Structure 1
Amino acid sequence: MQPEHFDVVVIGAGPGGYVAAIRAAQLGLSTACVDAWVDARGNPSPGGTCLNAGCIPSKALLDSSHHYHNLRHLLPAHGIDAKEITFDLARMQARKNKVVDTLTRGVKGLLRKNRVESITGLATLSQGKRIEVALHGGKGHRILEGKNVILATGSVPIHIEVAPVDGERIVDSEGALAFSTVPERLGIIGAGVIGLELGSVWSRLGSKVTIFESLPDFLPAADRKIASQALQSLTRQGLDIRLGSRVKRARAHSQGVSVDFDDHGGASALEFDRLIVAVGRRANTEGLDPAAAGVLLDEQGRIRTDADCRTDAEGIWAIGDATSGPMLAHKASDEGVAVVERIAGGVGHIDHRLVPWVIYTHPEIAWIGSSEADLTEAGVDFRSGSFPFLANGRALAAGETTGMVRMLSDAATDRILGVHILAANASELIAEASVAMAFDASAEDIARTVHAHPTLAEALHEAALACDNRTIHL
C-alpha cells in the first residue's frame, strides 16, 4: 500500500491536535488529523478528553448544579423564594450531552471548512515519519506520511491497584460524569482539580461527599492564603476533605464500596455508594509505538521534548498532555499553534511561564505566574498586595463575597510576578493578569488603569494599589 503524503500529520484531535491541524491548513499546508475518539453511537467525536469527557461536560454539570444550589441557598437572601425545589438529573445529563455534541460537531465542521483530512482510527508510528492507521470499525488501514508529524495524543486517567475501577461502583472521572442517580454517600480519592470539581457537582445535588487526599497540604501548587480560604469555603459547602488520608484498599460489593484508609488517627474504614478515583492523569501513548520512530519518553512516560516541542526524532513534534508541563487544554492549543507556525517558518511563540490555572469550584480558584512560596524559595525580593471581595461593591451586591485577589510584584522593578484569585468568576478575572504579565506590566500599571465601577475586576486594581500600601477601599 502506497502512503498518502501530507505536509503535516497530526495524531490526536483534542484541543492541541485539532487547533494545530486548523492552523496548519490556514497556513497552506496539506494536513491530515487522525483521531480515535468516537461517541456512544460510534460516530467520530473530535475534541479529545476536554470536549468529550473532561472540561466541557464537567463545566456543564457544574453550571447546572450551581443553579440548583443558588436556588436553595443564595436566592432567598435576594428575596426570591421557591417552593418544592426539585431537579431532574436525566435532563441535566441530556443537556450536558447536547453541549458536548454541539461542540464536537462544531470541531468537525471547522476541520472540514479548513480542508483538513479527518481520519478516525488508531495511529501507530513506524520508521521515519510514516503512520499506519487502523480505521475505526475494522474498515481496513491507511498509510500516511508527513513531512512533519505532531503528536497530540493527550492523557488518560491514572488507575491505582488499591481501588480497581469497575465502571459501576468504582469509577474514574469519565464515569463520574455519567451517573444516572445521585449517590447518597460518595467517596473521592484525590483532592486535586478533578476531585474538587466532581465533588462540588454531586455535593450540590445532595451527595454526602468525602475526599481522601494523601498529601498533608491542600492544593500545594496554589498560593497558601488562597488555598487556605478555599479549603474553608469548600468545607462550609459540605465537602469533607481529609488531608493526610491514604487509601489502603477499596472493595466494591453489592451494596456499595468499602474503603480502608490510614489518617492521623490510625486505620479507619468508611462505606460509600460510589467511589471516584481522581488521582491524576498520565500521558496517553497507547498503540502509538513512539520508539519505532525514534521518539523517546521520559521517566514519567511522557513524550520527551525540548523547549520548542521538538521530540528526539527529526520532524516529529509533541504537544499537550502527552508531554511535560501542566495538563491544560489552553496550553495544548497554544503549543499546537506555535509548532505549526515554526513548521511554516514563523516564530511560533508560547511562554510556558504564563499559562493560567483555573479550578472551577465555587468560588473559582485561578492563578498565573509565581506563588509567594516560589519566590521565597528562589530568593526573589517581592512585594505583595491583597484585596478581599468582602470590600468589593459588586461582590457584595451579588452576595458573592468569599475570596480575594493577591498580587505579587518585584520589589525592585515592580513587574508583576504572580496573581492569585479566589472568587466567583476568577476564571474570567485572571485574563487581565495574563495580558498584563505578557506585556511585562508593573503593579503600578494596573493601579493607574481605570477599571469600571462596580465590577469584580476592581479587586485587581485595589490589589495592585496594595502592592504600594495605598489601597483606597480597605
Structure 2
Amino acid sequence: MSKLIQTDVAVIGAGTAGLAAYRAARAAGQRAVIIEGGEYGTTCARVGCMPSKLLIAAAEAAHGLEHGKGFGVHIEGSLRIDGREVMSRVRRERDRFVGFVVKGVENIPAEDRLRGYARFVDNNILSIDGHTTVQARSIVIATGSSPAIPAPFKPLGDRLIINDDVFSWETLPRRVAVFGPGVIGLELGQALSRLGVITRVFGKGKSVGPFSDPVIRDYARTAFQEAFYLDPDATIESMEREGDEVVLRYRNLDGEVVTERFDYVLAATGRKPNVANLDLQNTGLELDAQGVPLFDPQTLQCGKSPIFIAGDANNVLPLLHEAADEGKTAGHNAASYPNVAPSLRRSTLAVVFSDPQLAMVGQRYADLKEGSFVTGEVSFEDQGRSRVMLRNKGLMHVYADRSTGRFLGAEWMGPSAEHIAHLLAWSHQQGLTIAQMLDMPFYHPVIEEGLRTALRDAAAKLAA
C-alpha cells in the first residue's frame, strides 16, 4: 500500500536547481520534500564542470611543458604522459567534489528526502515508484538534462561514449573521434589531444563553440585547426563497429576520403531535458516540441498551474549559476503560490575553458538588429601582455548601442577570457555605456588592456 505524504512544496530532482528550490521553500517557512531517483551529486560535480576542468588542467600542464621552447626552456628527452595517473587524479578529485555535494544533501532532514522516480498523477499529486504518494500545494520540476544521442550512433554499443563516461576511464585511450564542436566537444577534444590522444573533432553547419558572430566563429575555427583536427562541417561517409574499434570513413579538410580506426566515439551532440518520464500528460500543461512545459521565464511558473520548472530541465541556460538562481526563484514562488514574482535575471555570461578560452556576455551578435549597433574590435595577437606570455591568440568583438552608447554584449576568443567576461557581465548588468567603461582603471601591463582597445574602437565608431 502506498504511503501518503502531504507537503507544501515538492521538488523533483536533487541537483543544483532542486537543492536551491528546496532551500528557498524552507527559507520561506513552508514544508518541503525533495525527491531523487538517481545518485546524489550534481551534474556539475559528477560529470560536468569540475571533472572536465580536472582533465583540462592536466592537459594544460602537458601543453606548458611542451611549449616551453618558445621561451628558450627545453625538456631533455621526450615528454611522458601517464594516462593512469592523469585519470586517477581526475576521478579522485571528482569524487571529492561529489562528496561535498552529497554531504550537503545528507544534511537535509531524512523525512524531507524521498528516494525514487516521481510521476505526475495530476497537478498536485506525485507517485514515487508506486511506494509513496506525495500531495503538494505546488511542485518544482528540477530533473536536469541528459546527453542527446543521435540514432546513427547507437549501433556502436560500448564504443560510443558520452562525457559522463570519460571521467570513469582508468587510463587514456589511444584514439577518440569527437562529434560536436560545442562547449563539451571543444573542451574535451582539445584536452585529449594535448594529453597525447589521437583526436578528431567533427561538426555540422560550421558552428564552433557558442559563437553567433561569424567573424569570431571563423577566427576560432582557424585557431583550433592549428592545434588539433577540427572539421566543423564534416562529411562522414560511413561509421561502423568492428570488434572493439570504430571504423570511420570521412572526407578530410582537403576533400580526400580517409579511413581511420578509433577506440571510442564521443558524442557531444547536445543535451535534452529529463522530462519524458514524468507523465506530464496527466497535468494538462501545454508542452513544446521537446515535451517541456511552456513556462514564464521570469517566474518559472508553467501556465497558471502550481507547477514550476528550473535549471537544465527547462532547456534555457544550462549553466550552474543559472540553475542555482532559477532554483531559488522556483522554490520561492512555489512556496508563495498563487502569489508569484519575477526572478532576478543576471546578465548572460558563458565561458568555454578551451585554450584560448571562448566567452560571450550580454546580447549575442545574432540577437542584435543590423544598423542599431557598432562593433569594437581587438586582436590579441599583438596585445602586449598576451605576447609576453606567448598566449597571443584571440579576437574580440564588443557591441554598443549606436544611439545611447550603452554596452550591449561581446563575443570573443582570447587569453584569460573567464576573467574579462566577469568585468563585462558586471558592466552589462549595471547598464554602463562605453564611455563609462573607459573611465574605469586599467592597470599596465595586463591582458585587460586588450579590452580597453576594443572599447576605444567602439567609442571611435560611436563618435563617427
TM-score for the superposition, normalised by structure 1: 0.87
The match for 1:224 is 214
What is the DSSP-based 3-state SS (H/G/I as helix, E as strand, rest coil) of the residue aligned with 2:151?
Answer: coil
8 Å Cα contact 2:212/2:366 also seen in 1: no
Q: 1:341 to 1:189 in 2, by over 3 A?
A: same
Residue 362, structure 1, aligned to residue 363, structure 2: no
1:334-373 alignment runs, 5 A limit: 334-345=325-336, 347-351=341-345, 354-373=347-366
Deviation at 1:439, TM superposition (A): 1.4
For the pair 1:254 / 2:255, whether they are aligned, the reply is no
Matches within 5 A, 1:454-473: 454-469=445-460
Post-superposition offset of 1:296: 3.7
In the alignment, is the contact (CA less than 8 A) between 1:296 and 1:304 conserved in 2?
yes
Give the corresponding residue for 2:8: 7
1:321 to 304, 312, 318: 312
Residues 247 and 188 of structure 1: CA distance in aligned 2, closer, same or farther (over 3 Å)? same
- 1:104 is matched with 98
CA distance 1:79–1:121, shift in 2 (3 Å): farther
- In structure 2, what is the Cα distance between the partners aligned to 1:146 and 1:90? 48
- Following TM superposition, by how much is the alpha carbon of 1:317 offset from its aligned partner in structure 2, in angstroms? 0.5
Matched, 1:77 2:70: yes
Q: Which runs of 5+ in 2 are unaligned?
A: none
Residues 103-127 of structure 1: CA distance to partner in whole angstroms, max 9, x if unpaired? 2222233345565823332222212
Summarize the Cα distance change of 1:442–1:357 in structure 2 as closer, same or farther, 3 Å threshold.
Answer: same
Out of 388, 398, 407, the residue aligned to residue 389 of structure 2 is 398
CA deviation vs aligned residue, 1:369-408 (integer Å, no higher than 9, x gap): 2344432xx3342112122223433323322111133211
Cα distance change on mapping 1:343 and 1:285 into 2, 3 Å = closer
Alignment of 1:14-413 (within 5 A): 14-38=15-39, 45-47=40-42, 49-73=43-67, 75-83=68-76, 84-113=78-107, 115=109, 117-134=112-129, 141-164=131-154, 168-219=158-209, 221-238=211-228, 240-247=229-236, 249-261=238-250, 265=255, 269-307=259-297, 308-312=299-303, 314-345=305-336, 347-351=341-345, 354-375=347-368, 378-413=369-404
- Corresponding pairs, count: 454
User: 2:211·2:411 contact (CA, 8 Å) conserved in 1?
Assistant: no
Q: Does 1:444 align with 2:432?
A: no
Q: 1:24 to 1:220 in 2, by over 3 A?
A: closer
Q: State the AA in 1 paired with 2:318.
A: M
Cα separation, 2, equivalents of 1:244 and 1:30: 52
- CA distance, structure 2, for counterparts of residue 186 and residue 174 of structure 1: 15
Cα distance change, pair 12–336 in 1 and its aligned pair in 2 (3 A): same
- CA gap of 1:37–1:428, structure 2 versus 1, over 3 A, is farther
Q: Paired residue for 1:423, among 411, 414, 422? A: 414
Letter matched to residue 190 of structure 2: S
- After TM superposition, give the deviation of residue 196 of structure 1 in Å: 1.2
How far apart, CA to CA, are the structure 2 residues paired with 1:396 and 1:14? 42
8 Å contact 1:369–1:417 — kept in the other structure? yes
- In the alignment, the residues of structure 1 paired with residue 429 and residue 176 of structure 2 have an alpha-carbon distance, to the nearest angstrom, of 42
Give the match for residue 41 of structure 1.
Answer: none
Over 3 Å counting, the alpha-carbon distance change for 1:15 and 1:26 in structure 2 is same
The answer to whether the 8 A contact 1:340-1:348 is kept is no
On the 8 A contact 2:126/2:133 being kept in 1, the answer is yes
TM-score relative to the length of structure 2: 0.89
Which residues of structure 1 form unaligned runs of 5+?
39-44, 135-139
Give the conservation status (yes or no) of the 8 Å contact 2:183–2:210.
no
Q: Cα–Cα, structure 1 residues 300 and 269, in superposed 2: closer, same or farther, change >3 Å?
A: farther
8 Å contact from structure 1 (residues 22, 111) kept in 2: no
Whole-Å separation in 1 of the counterparts to 2:383 and 2:293: 45
- 2:380·2:392 contact (CA, 8 Å) conserved in 1? yes
**Counterpart contact for 2:285–2:294, Cα < 8 Å:** yes
**Paired residue secondary structure (2:375):** strand
2:241 and 2:343 map into 1 onto residues whose CA distance is 48
Give the aligned residue type for 1:423: G
Describe the shift of the 1:81–1:348 C-alpha distance in structure 2 as closer, same or farther (beyond 3 A): farther
